[in-house]
């Protein structure tokens, strides 16, 4: 059985879904792509049991065939082929796959397609449409604050809370929290689901550069994203997400307003001199001046800088993890940012000075205990 496909078009679709394939999967068959050919269409599936991605591409074919093809060797071959039609010849008895191109012939050992895990389908699910640029922004603004602690599975993903008037995306690792709200994503039904970090990372990298519509469908166990010729199915995290609203301090009389790029650049320089374990930087607010300093006692390294800012409230000193602050600032597009605080032992709230249209973003970061230097 044969089918013909453009080498570059096939590589593009394989690249979009190849992130799912792991090097040492629980089931060896998952080192393969599942190829299903019929009606001049090739459906390619990649899976790690938790997350599956499916892509479609038009091919020239006179018959149908299903075969598993080794992912790594196929992609490495296509990456090194110039753009040209490639003919796949499949022996359904031995599961061997032969690629024929203008350059030569390449033979791969395929596997029986029936051994590939069945991909779940939507049953009794809910659906909502989201623009790909908005979805990409929501993922980028929250995914960096997810936890990698397997003992706290609820924090290993991003909470999607869809409502009739707005939708909220939230993530936390216990040290920081991001709440990203959109008023232009609404759902007729109030739904709350937690989508794993890996699935969202794969989804974000495969979203097209041009804006398109993404359909999100979900039931009690899985979420389904579909756009263009790509689909992604992932298992939801079946846990209760922390009640983060109660962790956000309401009274924050001390407020810093500062140019984001200046603050970010200073933090990057000062953090070089911070302790490599705690990444602690000290922020000291006095009037219209912010002093940023860090010290690594183990190596006698220290640094400090002064920045002009707007500050209202009592003079105070507070310590933060510079790594967390830098990541948060990198995900705020506003040129000016605000940090609201109540006390050196209470969380600081980072917000854009002005939110973009239809969105509201709040980032919370817990302080670190200050060393008694300076």
CB-side neighbour CA atoms (13 Å) of 286: 4
Residue 267 is predicted with a pLDDT of: 97
Per residue in 261-272, pLDDT (tens digit) is 999 999 999 999
The residues facing 54 across adjacent strands are 45, 231
| Domain range 2-115, its CATH number among 3.90.1170.10, 3.30.565.10, 2.60.40.420, 3.10.150.10 | 3.10.150.10
In this prediction, residue 371 carries a pLDDT of 61
The stretches of the chain forming alpha helices (DSSP H) are 7-17, 71-79, 132-142, 197-206, 260-271, 322-330
Q: What percentage of the chain exceeds 70 in pLDDT?
A: 99
Q: How does pLDDT run across 138-150, given as a tens digit for each residue?
A: 999 999 999 999 9
3-class secondary structure, 221: coil
pLDDT at residue 287 above 50?
A: yes
pLDDT for 23 beyond 90: no
Cα dihedral angle (109, 114, 115, 121), rounded to 10 degrees?
130
Per-residue pLDDT tens digits for 324-335: 999 999 999 899
Say what the pTM is: 0.90
256 CB-near residues (< 8 Å, 6+ apart): 285, 290, 309, 310, 311, 338, 339, 340, 341
pLDDT in tens, 238-247: 999 999 999 8
How far is the C-alpha of 238 from the C-alpha of 306, rounded, in Å? 47
pLDDT recorded at residue 357:
87
What integer pLDDT is reported at residue 356 of this predicted model?
82
CATH homologous superfamily, domain 126-245? DNA Polymerase III, subunit A, domain 2 (3.10.150.10)
Determine the pLDDT at residue 372: 58
pLDDT at 158: 98
Q: Is the pLDDT of residue 187 over 90?
A: no
Q: H-helix or E-strand containing 307?
A: strand 301-308
Of 115-119, 174-178, 206-210, 345-349, the range with the lowest mean pLDDT is 206-210
Distance of CA 121 to the CA centre of its chain: 23
All structural domains of the chain with their residue ranges: 2-115, 126-245, 249-365
Task: Give the CA radius of gyration of the chain.
Answer: 25
What superfamily would CATH give domain 249-365? DNA Polymerase III, subunit A, domain 2 (3.10.150.10)
Number of C-beta neighbours around residue 311 at 10 A: 19
For residue 57, the cross-strand partners are: 42
Q: Tens of pLDDT along 345-366?
A: 999 999 999 888 899 999 999 9
CA distance 354 to 321: 24
Place of tokens 């570059």: 8
Q: What pLDDT is attached to residue 316?
A: 93
Q: What average pLDDT does the structure give for the chain?
A: 93
């Amino acid at each position: 059985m044969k089918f013909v496909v453009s080498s570059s078009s096939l590589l593009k679709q394989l690249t979009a879904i190849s992130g799912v394939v792991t090097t040492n999967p629980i089931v060896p068959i998952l080192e393969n792509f599942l190829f299903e050919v019929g009606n001049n269409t090739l459906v390619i599936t990649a899976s790690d049991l938790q997350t599956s991605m499916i892509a479609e591409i038009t091919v020239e074919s006179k018959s149908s065939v299903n075969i598993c093809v080794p992912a790594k060797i196929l992609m490495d071959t296509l990456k090194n082929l110039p753009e040209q039609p490639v003919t796949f010849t499949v022996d359904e008895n031995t599961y061997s796959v032969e690629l024929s191109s203008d350059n030569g012939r390449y033979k791969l050992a395929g596997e029986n397609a029936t051994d590939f895990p069945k991909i779940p389908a939507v049953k009794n699910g809910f659906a909502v449409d989201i623009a790909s640029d908005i979805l990409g922004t929501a993922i980028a603004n929250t995914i960096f604050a997810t936890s990698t602690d397997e003992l706290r599975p609820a924090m290993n993903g991003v909470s999607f809370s869809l409502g009739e008037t707005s939708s909220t995306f939230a993530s936390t690792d216990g040290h920081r929290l991001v709440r990203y709200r959109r008023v232009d994503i609404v759902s007729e039904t109030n739904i709350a689901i937690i989508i794993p970090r890996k699935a969202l990372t794969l989804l974000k990298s495969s979203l097209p550069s041009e804006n398109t519509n993404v359909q999100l469908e979900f039931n009690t166990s899985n979420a389904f994203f579909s756009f263009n010729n790509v689909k992604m199915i992932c298992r939801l995290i079946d846990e209760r997400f922390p009640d983060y609203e109660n962790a956000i301090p309401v009274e924050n009389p001390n407020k810093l307003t500062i140019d984001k790029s200046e603050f970010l650049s200073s933090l990057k320089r000062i953090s070089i001199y911070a302790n490599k374990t705690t990444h602690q930087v000290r922020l000291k607010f006095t009037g219209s001046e912010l002093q940023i300093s860090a010290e690594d006692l183990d190596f006698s390294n220290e640094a400090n800088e002064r920045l002009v800012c707007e500050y209202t409230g009592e003079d105070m000193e507070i310590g933060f993890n510079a790594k967390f602050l830098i990541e948060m600032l990198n995900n705020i597009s506003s040129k000016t940012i605000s940090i609201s605080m109540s006390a050196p032992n209470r969380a600081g709230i980072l917000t854009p000075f002005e939110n973009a249209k239809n969105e509201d973003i709040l980032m919370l970061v817990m302080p670190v205990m200050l060393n008694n230097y300076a």
